[in-house]
Amino acid sequence: MTNITLALEDTLHERMKRHSEIRWSEVVRKSIRQKVEMLEAMDKIASKSRLTKKDVDEISRKIKMETFEELNSR
């Protein structure tokens, strides 16, 4: 098994230490595994897509703008 090192804000680390019953390495392992699986699924979907990078960027821009406008109208 490979080991990795990561940096955390001191305040986050202090909050984590209050829950010593949690196996934080397992939490991180599961989170990374889920993210990688999601990215692989997205890669599989994207590999079958006819959209260009330009199309994807334009769709992304529109979604971000609509989300921004919705959040700012609240």
Residues 9-45: tens digit of each pLDDT? 999 999 999 999 999 999 999 999 999 999 999 999 8
Domain of residue 20 covers: 11-72
Q: What is d(CA 28, CA 16) in angstroms, rounded to the nearest whole number?
A: 12
Number of domain units in the chain: 1
Instruction: Tell me the pTM.
Output: 0.64
Average pLDDT over residues 34-59: 91
pLDDT higher than threshold 80 for residue 74 = no
5 found inside a domain: no
20 found inside a domain: yes
37 found inside a domain: yes
6 found inside a domain: no
Q: What integer pLDDT is reported at residue 51 of this predicted model?
A: 87
Q: What integer pLDDT is reported at residue 53 of this predicted model?
A: 86
Q: How many CB atoms lie within 10 A of CB 16?
A: 13
Non-local (6+) Cβ contacts of 8 within 8 A are 16
Provide, rounded to the nearest whole percent, the portion of the chain with pLDDT above 90: 78
62 found inside a domain: yes
Q: Are 16 and 24 in contact (CB under 8 A)?
A: yes
21 found inside a domain: yes
